[in-house]
Amino acid sequence: MTAEIKKLQKGYFLISHPEIEGGLFGRAVLLLCEHNEVGSFAIIINKPLDVELPPELIDLSSAPNKNITIRAGGPVQTNQLMLLHSVPSPQQQLLTVTDDIYLGGDLEYLHELLEDEQQPTVYLCFGYAGWASAQLEREVLEGHWFVYPANKRLLFETPPEALWRTLLKEMGGKYAVLSTIPEDLSLN
């Protein structure tokens, strides 16, 4: 078993190889939210989504919390909204991804976060990425994904357009070199 496969567990980033071009997975960073013998699911976290939500449902423009952004979470069930945040709540059914990163909450909880004057960062993620049993392991072994431990600072404080490069640079060595490859390989 390779070192990369051993790292496959919830609370880790999946960083796409630079040869994956375009689409949702080109230069994508995903947060692995679950990984077990049945399969895996992750949320793409560095692809902002420009959509207008019905103001009667969620009015981001007038909310005191300005740290709420919309992300394309993945190609599966794109009409499903998931909340990714760092606010533990005993009243909610939350999936603990790491000690300080949580997935979940209902519409009422989202409204609480919208009104929170502490302004926690919240990603409204539409959709997710999923893999069947052993599929993600195969993709990692084939070199499609690099695996790196997630943390709140990297997830919520790094601008989405810089996250892919930042993670590869932090990994150092050959990964740092890969971070310098231009998106348009004809410019190389």
Residue 56 inside a domain? The answer is no
- First-last CA distance in the chain: 34
Q: What pLDDT score was predicted for residue 91? A: 64
Residue 76 inside a domain? The answer is yes
As a 3-state breakdown, the chain gives helix, strand, coil percent values, each rounded to 5, of: 25, 30, 45
Residue 53 inside a domain? The answer is no
H-type helices in 7-106, by residue range? none
Residue 160 inside a domain? The answer is yes
pTM: predicted TM-score of the whole model, two decimal places: 0.92
Distance between CA atoms of residues 43 and 20, nearest Å: 17
Count, in order, helices (H) and strands (E) of the chain: 6, 9
Residue 74 inside a domain? The answer is yes
The parent domain of residue 121 ranges over: 3-48+62-187
Which residue in 39, 42, 40, 41 sits closest to 29, CA to CA?
Answer: 42
CATH number, position 88: 3.40.1740.10
Residue 57 inside a domain? The answer is no
Say how many domains are in the chain: 1
Question: How confident is the prediction along the chain (188 residues), in pLDDT tens digits per residue?
Answer: 577 788 899 999 999 999 988 889 999 999 999 999 999 999 999 999 988 888 877 888 888 999 999 999 999 999 999 999 998 876 667 899 998 999 998 888 888 999 988 889 999 999 999 999 999 999 999 999 999 999 999 999 999 999 999 999 999 999 999 999 887 666 55
Q: What pLDDT score was predicted for residue 187? A: 59
Q: What pLDDT score was predicted for residue 58? A: 84
Residue 93 inside a domain? The answer is yes
Residue 92 inside a domain? The answer is yes
Distance between CA atoms of residues 175 and 182, nearest Å: 14
